[in-house]
């Protein structure tokens, strides 16, 4: 067993509260990630013992804690904190530090009258999504295991409870810096910046203005992350500042989903009634979140508030251009060009317009450009798309880009298989049966074998590539599970 460390305790104690996870009568392991367990040297028994009333495991060997933070939730600022998550400690592997966290293990001082529990469906959804995102080559938290608690908890109705064990490079968020800025002191804010730089971005220490360099570095990681989301049609669902990890990892897979029919206004979250976190708005929102981070760090950018504002305003004006460059480069790669220019931007805009007009599937349209998939799944036999393809080939010829080169690049960028929402929901509808009959988990394991190998194509995968019917798609909503 890898020994847990606690570098987070270098921060003032106002950044956390020590609290132990609840123990349950007769918890059981439903899912366990043996590959990740081996990498981290963390055993299934170690995690299970921490939540089992019959275990003799002593809490004295660890110092679990919940983190304090604030955040802008749907644009409104509030005090927050880990309401149903507890960091067990930090695991160090090959000089890389990871938080080991339990989610759904009971209330904390930040639960705001919540029960601190989680549903089996919600925790299994996070397991599916995080491991699928890892396979899609997108920075993400990882799921170590899902443990049934044997309890019934109440959300929309009575549901089985569960605890998720997950790992991340860090759970520090934009909201953590907002908390330090608006609820603590400048000294606490400086301590948080120093700790985060040391842990995640040590090169920032060499800069003449470490706070400014830190924001630049975080912006790069966030733009990289969100362009990945756009690449695969992923919609996070709740891009609040408390859900924006400084490490640039996707996490908190609550109301998330993958887009089927292309529409930039697509929203699945039941609570996003205004479309703030729609698919096409994710680039603008990450810029908004980075402005909040910049505001929080103003006292450390320059002692003079006036001068700090001048520097910050000049700096954040570049966010939009930086995002657009990153996004256009990624979209150029989706159509087979390694670099973006005005012509690739024109081609991408034209293709997305066609896709929206014809209601084509986002994943399958791009997959059909680099694989010979059935015409029933992709639109490339339609006249408008044939005309676009002719323009695409003409431009490629002018650049000396062969079809083989473009296909090779697109097959690395464009997934064939994604965890389609209707399939995920179908599998989750059976999850309650797993506790008594493990044969019901067979379809889950079949699905995971495909979702964790998303770029390969053969005819056996066609059934998993089919988008939902219009009824299935329209009916789909996702929830936080709290």
Round the CA-based radius of gyration of the chain to a whole number and report it: 23
Residue 15 structure tokens: 């950044």
Residues in CB range of 97: below 8 A, 6 or more apart: 5, 7, 90, 91, 169, 170, 199
CB neighbours of residue 268 within 10 Å: 21
Contact 422, 465 (CB under 8 A): no
Residue 350 structure tokens: 């034209």
Strand order in the sheet with 142-154: 16-18, 65-67, 85-93, 96-103, 158-168, 142-154, 28-32
Contact 223, 322 (CB under 8 A): yes
- Report the distance separating Cα 76 and Cα 450, nearest Å: 39
Max distance between CA atoms of the chain, in angstroms, equals 71
Nearest residue to 251 via CA among 158, 160, 172, 196:
172
Whether 45 is catalytic: no
SS3 224: helix
Pick the catalytic residue: 242, 252, 272, 361?
A: 242
Catalogue the active-site residues.
242
């Amino acid at each position: 067993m890898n020994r847990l460390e606690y570098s987070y305790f270098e921060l003032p104690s106002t950044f956390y509260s020590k609290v132990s996870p609840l123990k349950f009568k007769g918890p059981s392991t439903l899912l366990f990630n043996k590959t990740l367990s081996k990498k981290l040297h963390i055993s299934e028994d170690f995690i299970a013992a921490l939540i089992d009333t019959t275990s003799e495991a002593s809490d004295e060997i660890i110092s679990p804690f919940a983190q304090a933070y604030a955040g802008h939730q749907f644009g409104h600022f509030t005090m927050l904190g880990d309401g149903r998550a507890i960091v067990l400690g930090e695991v160090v592997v090959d000089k890389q530090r990871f938080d080991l966290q339990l989610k759904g293990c009971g209330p904390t001082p930040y639960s705001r009258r919540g029960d601190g529990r989680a549903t089996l469906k919600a925790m299994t959804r996070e397991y599916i999504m995080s491991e699928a995102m890892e396979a899609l080559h997108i920075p993400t938290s990882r799921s170590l295991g899902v443990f049934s608690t044997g309890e019934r908890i109440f959300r929309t109705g009575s549901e089985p409870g569960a605890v998720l064990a997950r790992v991340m490079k860090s759970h520090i968020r934009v909201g953590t810096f907002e908390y330090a800025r608006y609820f603590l002191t400048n000294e606490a804010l400086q301590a948080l910046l120093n700790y985060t730089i040391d842990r995640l971005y040590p090169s920032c220490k060499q800069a003449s203005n470490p706070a400014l360099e830190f924001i630049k570095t975080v912006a790069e990681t966030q733009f990289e992350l969100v362009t990945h989301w756009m690449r695969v049609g992923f919609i996070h669902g709740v891009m609040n500042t408390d859900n924006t990890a400084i490490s640039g990892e996707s996490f908190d897979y609550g109301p998330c989903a993958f887009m089927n029919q292309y529409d930039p206004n697509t929203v699945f979250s039941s609570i996003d009634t205004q479309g703030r976190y729609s698919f096409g708005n994710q680039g603008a929102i990450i810029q908004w979140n980075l402005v909040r981070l910049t505001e929080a760090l103003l006292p450390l950018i320059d002692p003079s508030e006036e001068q700090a504002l001048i520097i910050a305003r000049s700096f954040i004006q570049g966010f939009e251009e930086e995002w657009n460059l990153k996004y256009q480069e990624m979209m150029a790669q989706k159509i087979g060009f390694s670099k973006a220019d005005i012509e690739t931007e024109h081609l991408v805009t034209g293709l997305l317009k066609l896709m929206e007009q014809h209601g084509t599937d986002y994943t399958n349209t791009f997959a059909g450009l680099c694989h010979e998939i059935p015409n029933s799944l992709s639109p490339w036999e339609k006249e408008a798309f044939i005309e676009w393809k002719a323009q695409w080939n003409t431009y490629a010829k002018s650049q000396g880009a062969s079809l083989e080169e473009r296909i090779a690049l697109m097959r690395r960028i464009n997934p064939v298989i994604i965890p389609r929402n209707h399939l995920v929901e179908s599998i989750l509808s059976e999850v309650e049966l797993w506790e008594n009959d493990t044969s019901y988990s067979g379809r889950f394991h079949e699905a995971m074998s495909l979702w964790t190998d998303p770029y390969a194509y053969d005819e056996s995968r066609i059934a998993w590539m089919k988008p939902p019917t219009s009824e299935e798609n329209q009916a789909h909503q996702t929830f936080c599970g709290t």
